[in-house]
Amino acid sequence: EARRFLRRIQKESGITAVYVTHDQAEAMAMSDRVAVMKEGKLTQLDKPGAIYDRPADVFVASFVGNFPMNFLEGQAEAGAGKLYFRSDEFKLALPGDLKIKPGDKLTLGIRPEHIELNTGAAAELTGTVDDIEQLGSELIVSVNVGGKPLLARETGKIDLKAGMKIGLKIPASNLHLFNSEGKRI
């Protein structure tokens, strides 16, 4: 209620306002532009949607979003005319327009809401359901994929139980890749 009130006052008066908060949800909801700072330095300045969709680095990616982004360490690998992200847990095809080469160290990020769970058909990844948090209109599901827990947000009507095997689909368009210094690729 306070956020809507402050935003209305700012719009009605037509003034520029600087609002300082440590609450990322508040910053995203109230701002036309957001400045993310770390240790007194500007990390990223952009529209809220751009910060969410294209975080400049691992810090911004981990800070922005309702549930934390999943991160996996790995490297680029070539095969069958494509580039892949390879970690101990799994291998995923990467989009072809990236400026990386085989052997490059990478951090792959995927938001929980971009992981599609599938109890039926074959999937590019499989895992075991570890835990299910019922949050009313959505489930937060912890899935163990090769020893690595991934959080997935499920809003559909899917019957899940701890211990069951499940398929995961991760659309390449929703992958976030960061180089060995943690900067966006």
> Mind listing the pLDDT tens digit for each residue in 86-98?
988 678 888 878 8
pLDDT at 162: 94
Write the single-letter amino acid at 71: F
In a 13 Å sphere around the CA of 25, the CA atoms on its Cβ side amount to 4
In a 13 Å sphere around the CA of 177, the CA atoms on its Cβ side amount to 24
DSSP letter string, 97-161: T-S--TT-EEEEEE-GGGPEEESSS--SEEEEEEEEEE-SS-EEEEEEETTEEEEEEE-S-----
Mean pLDDT of the region 66-71: 91
Q: Coil, strand or helix: which one is 7?
A: helix
pLDDT at 121: 64
Cα dist. 99→67, 96, 131 in Å? 29, 9, 37
Q: Coil, strand or helix: which one is 164?
A: coil
pLDDT at 122: 67
Q: What mean pLDDT is reported for the chain?
A: 90
Mean pLDDT of the region 117-131: 83
CB neighbours of residue 45 within 10 Å: 13
